[in-house]
Amino acid sequence: MPLLELNNVHAYYGGIHALKGITLYVNKGEIVSLIGSNGAGKSTTLKTISGGVKPKEGTILLNGQAISDVPPHETVISGIAHVPEGRRIFPRLTVKENLEMGAFSVNEKRVIAERMEKVFQYFPRIKERLHQRGGTMSGGEQQMLAIGRALMSGPSILMLDEPSMGLAPIIVDQIFSIIKELNDSGMTILLVEQNAYQALQVAHRGYVIQTGEIKMTGTNIELLGDDQIKEAYLA
């Protein structure tokens, strides 16, 4: 049984039919990349999984359990962490407070402290800046903080929406290598990217979304080698 499974998911913004029957799955331990151009429905797919957008039709299962009607704060409790597009850290809160916000569903201080230590292992820079306000950090550091905050909830799946957006190439490389490292230590990841090449390189499998529909799926090697994909997304 996949860890996460979407079956024929439709979603709308008013009259706009943004998702037209999305079917995909993510197995435990995988990195799965969802690639597609601007406006294809990538962010809406993640929002629908984390409960911010209600599917009008279709099912979303986490560990075989339906979560299609679960509001965002409860999807976090059930194990889904969503790092939204544009990071959305709390700029006026300190780095530490931002991390603590990620653990809102956790009561035990010991667990919070342990998770924070783990975040520091992945992101040593965060530890150096613990008492600084989130908004004073660079874009790359804010992205790292956003991922760290998501990890504080102790998720079973981490969903990242365009983590490389707007960052310098060297920082992008760092982010992708941390994504790989997180996965190597067991984290299941659903990665949304316009940066198709790097997203497919780091992934086990991928899906291509176009105007709200999945147009293609395969292993990273199959997709990286596909002529249509090369032309449309890797050029």
Ligand X SMILES: Nc1ncnc2c1ncn2[C@@H]1O[C@H](COP(=O)(O)OP(=O)(O)O)[C@@H](O)[C@H]1O
Site residues (CB under 5 A) for Mg ion?
Answer: 42-43, 85
Q: Which two tokens stand for residue 131?
A: 């008492």
Which among 176, 133, 6, 185 has a CA at the least distance from the CA of 80?
A: 6
Partner residues linked to 216 by β-bridges: 208
Which among 179, 153, 169, 191 has a CA at the least distance from the CA of 24?
A: 191
Contacts of 15 (CB under 8 A, 6+ apart): none
Are the beta carbons of 204 and 30 closer than 8 angstroms?
A: yes
Partner touching 65 among ligand X, Mg ion, none, CB below 5 to 8 Å by kind: none
CB of 117 to ligand X, least distance (A): 33
| Cβ proximity to Mg ion, 119 vs 199, nearer residue | 199
Q: Does 64 bind ligand X (CB under 6 A)?
A: no
Q: How far apart are the first and last CA of the chain?
A: 36
Q: Does 144 bind ligand X (CB under 6 A)?
A: no
What is the crossing angle of helices 169-184 and 139-151, to 10°? 20
Task: Select from 20-28, 39-47, 96-104, 132-140 the region that touches ligand X (CB under 6 A).
Answer: 39-47
Q: Which two tokens stand for residue 160?
A: 């990242």
Task: Select from 36-44, 114-122, 170-178, 224-232 the region that touches ligand X (CB under 6 A).
Answer: 36-44
CB of 159 to ligand X, least distance (A): 12
Q: Which two tokens stand for residue 127?
A: 């530890």
Size of residue set near ligand X by CB under 6 A: 11
Which residue in the set 44, 50, 98, 164 belongs to the binding site for ligand X (CB under 6 A)? 44
Partner touching 187 among ligand X, Mg ion, none, CB below 5 to 8 Å by kind: none
Are the beta carbons of 171 and 141 closer than 8 angstroms?
A: no
Task: Select from 42-50, 66-74, 126-134, 144-152 the region that touches ligand X (CB under 6 A).
Answer: 42-50
CB of 40 to ligand X, least distance (A): 4
Q: Does 42 bind ligand X (CB under 6 A)?
A: yes
Chain residues in the site for ligand X (CB under 6 A): 13, 16, 18, 36, 38-44
